[in-house]
Amino acid sequence: MYVRHVAAAAAAFLGWALVLSGGPATAAASITAASAATATAGPDPVRLVGAPVLYAHRGASAYAPENTLAAVDLAEDLGVDWVENDVQRTKDGELVVIHDDTLSRTTDVKTRYPDRKPWRVADFTAAEIAGLDAGSWFGPQFAGARVPTLRQYLDRVRFNQQKLLLEIKKPELYPGIEQDTLRVLEEAGWLGEQQVENRLVVQSFSVDCVRMVHSLHPDLITAFLGTPAAEDLPVYAEFADRINPWHTTITAEWVAAVHALRGVHGRTLEVDTWIVDDPAVARKVQEMGVDGIITNAPDVVREAVGGF
């Protein structure tokens, strides 16, 4: 599934240009136009040989408020198979999908609860967070969007027949979040053989977290977020299948060093780099040999490198 026509790609590219110049409201309107063009387009193009897999970072977050169901749906409209999200835990133990460990940037929490600074996720109940507006900060057309629970997010991704790159965020703030995450994944039907083999990757910046997830559920595909020194890569290959670095920190030689190793499941260790939204940068990391690109604007990157 992906954008199937030059007109759709052009409209989506225009939407990203408007993000740079005119803000999210105009960008979202352009994405709507792109989706309409896609609906009337012809057959899918052939994927380019060597094109990387594309991951919609926090959903299609260039065009919709990050980590919301609206961003997931827009990624689906663009035909992006993989979405990435962040998981944290509320005061009463609910897992919610949000990037920051505070609620202030992406919700109206300051207005709703002015006396509860610094508005940490861990200091609010699931019910309190569910009542916040997580869309208006991005654009008025998203007013009323909510911070989804992990279960709500999983159900939407599954309904859209998408795949999930799930990041456990700041696990040091939430002891036991690895077990909690695996429990919700199990309850939502995401730990079956088909999902584990083809539709789910769990990642973290924390070595201990990735190691713990692998220990608790050895079948899962796991990824470490960061750029370990080449000589240290064999240690990571003992508990991870992928190394996911920031694009400014890598070279073709480093990518080749990763590919020279086999991950914990015996397959070539992969590299999915982030966050790439610029076409020239996308082509640069493609030439380095990365396996995947994590991006806020998957339509723009696809136009540049032919990913899927």
DSSP 229-287: -GGGHHHHTTT-SEEE-BGGG--HHHHHHHHTSB-TTSSBPEEEEB---SHHHHHHHHH
- Is 57 among the catalytic positions? yes
Longest dimension (CA), the chain: 55
Q: What is the Cα–Cα distance from 52 to 56, expressed in whole angstroms?
A: 13
Residue of 295, 293, 294, 300 lying closest to 50 (CA atoms): 293
The residues, any chain, with a CB within 8 Å of residue 208's CB and separated by 6 or more, are 171
CA distances from 248 to 140, 226, 245, 285, 300 (A): 34, 11, 8, 9, 19
Which candidate, 135, 3, 156, places its Cα nearest to that of 63? 135
* List 5, 99, 214, 217, catalytic entry: 99
Catalytic site includes residue 214: no
What torsion, rounded to 10 degrees, do the Cα atoms 123, 128, 130, 134 define?
-70
Q: Which of 57, 214, 217, 247 is catalytic?
A: 57
How far is Cα 24 from Cα 27, in angstroms, rounded to an integer? 5
Give the number of C-alpha atoms closer than 13 A to the C-alpha of residue 53, restricted to the C-beta side: 16
The amino acid occupying position 5 is H
- Report strand pairing: 292-295 vs 221-225: unpaired
Residues marked as catalytic: 57, 99
